[in-house]
Structure 1
């Protein structure tokens, strides 16, 4: 099972969006309730749904993007937790992607709790025309993860340090290694938290388009050097 999202523009920078849980009928039947943790500007900011008929769906309207915390409580007491970043970005035009032959290779550094968020960011990076690597999706069975991550970091052009909370010590170590190799480190998330714990060259928000724009700037700088 996993969170899914839809969005529709209803005004200049204003969106009507929905989030639900996608899964097989058997998976949805095992869910007792889903608790959504929204931005504190929403009232209520914590919303509980218990109807599997619509995938435990919620709908809201508002400005801007943020990370939605999703707690899925299963029958029997187990639970699964997701962090879903709202995304209102339009996919990059195919002709624009195809016209960028010298694509940046992006290594995404993140904590385990941000798995879903990392996959959303990976999708956005690739739709903008760049290649990316996240260890949860790319590691092969039996592969030495330390060796694989070191190899991918060394072959990357830029490291994206992604965090919705206090960054892990592994993220700090990966950013430091990137700096020693002369690679730019682009922080994505809360600027105060990232700058306190991770050595970054620049920090951008999770807002749609911010990361893509920063990567385009780095790509342009690289092509001119």
Structure 2
């Protein structure tokens, strides 16, 4: 396959994992990035990428035309879920993929910083 979807938990400049709590008893939300990986030539064939996040997101559907950043998007989440991805090529072809967003967090609370 020419393309794969990748993700990571975003850290601050000191290497700590950023999180937010939207209310006092709420879950920790982590800042994540998702992008398309492939050869430079394959990525140049992409016009834009559509990401359909979990239905609980207020802005569930996200598009990226950001070729220099491999058509990445970022968002805050507390959970893991399936993302529907549609890669739109300049040729008009659409490549549809499913990507299960999952991540591992360190148990050491010194690795985290609230933002």
- State if a TM-score over 0.5 links the two structures: yes
1 or 2 for the larger relative contact order (CA 8 Å, sep ≥6)?
2
Q: Which residue of 2 aligns with 1:24?
A: 39
The 4+ residue runs of structure 1 with deviation greater than 4 A are none
Which among 1, 4, 10 is matched to residue 2 of structure 1? 4
Which among 94, 99, 107 is matched to residue 79 of structure 1? 94
Aligned partners of 1:48, 1:20: CA distance in 2, in Å?
11
TM-score calculated relative to the size of structure 2: 0.71
Correspondences of 1:10-159 after superposition (within 5 Å): 10=19, 13-89=28-104
Aligned partners of 1:50, 1:69: CA distance in 2, in Å?
17
TM-score calculated relative to the size of structure 1: 0.38
Give the structure with the higher percent helix: 1
Aligned partners of 1:43, 1:25: CA distance in 2, in Å?
33
* Structure 1: gaps (5+ residues): 92-225
Aligned partners of 2:97, 2:32: CA distance in 1, in Å?
18
Aligned partners of 1:54, 1:32: CA distance in 2, in Å?
13
Query: What is the RMSD of the two structures over their aligned residues, measured on CA atoms?
Result: 1.8
Give the structure with the higher percent strand: 2
* Structure 2: gaps (5+ residues): 11-16, 21-26, 107-115
Aligned partners of 1:14, 1:51: CA distance in 2, in Å?
24
Residue correspondences, number? 91
